[in-house]
């Protein structure tokens, strides 16, 4: 299995067996990317973007299949700020 797409991404295994990578660092800055691991193609596929850049957040799947993304840090390359919000992702 290839490495996750970005360091600091929140990882969450979904009930259907897919692996979700949320946010993370790209060129030392936080990202908005949400990717899912495709087991057949053995690679990561982008599926959407977050409303806020996040790295080192937490992600958890809820019983209805949606995913909550909580907190994290916003890195802009020189400054690090806490992200004090929650996003709910529906697929």
* Structure token digits, residue 45: 């596929």
46 Cβ partners below 8 Å, 6+ apart?
33, 34, 35
C-alpha span between 13 and 30 (Å, rounded) = 21
Residue range 59-88, pLDDT digits in tens: 999 999 999 999 999 988 778 899 999 999
Query: Hey, what long-range contacts does 62-65 have (CB within 8 A, 24 or more apart)?
Result: 65/14, 65/15, 65/90, 65/91
Residue range 2-16, pLDDT digits in tens: 556 799 999 999 998
Residue range 4-52, pLDDT digits in tens: 679 999 999 999 889 999 999 988 899 999 999 988 888 899 999 999 9
> Model pTM greater than 0.75?
yes
Q: How far is CA 5 from the centre of its chain?
A: 10
* Structure token digits, residue 5: 């797409």
């Amino acid at each position: 299995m290839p490495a996750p797409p970005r360091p600091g991404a929140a990882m969450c295994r979904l009930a259907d067996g897919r692996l979700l990578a949320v946010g993370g660092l790209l060129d030392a800055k936080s990202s908005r990317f949400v990717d899912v691991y495709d087991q057949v193609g053995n690679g990561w596929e982008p599926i959407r973007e977050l409303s806020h850049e996040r790295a080192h957040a937490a992600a958890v799947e809820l019983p209805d299949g949606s995913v909550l993304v909580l907190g994290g840090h916003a890195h802009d390359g020189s400054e690090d700020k806490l992200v004090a919000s929650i996003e709910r992702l529906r697929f």
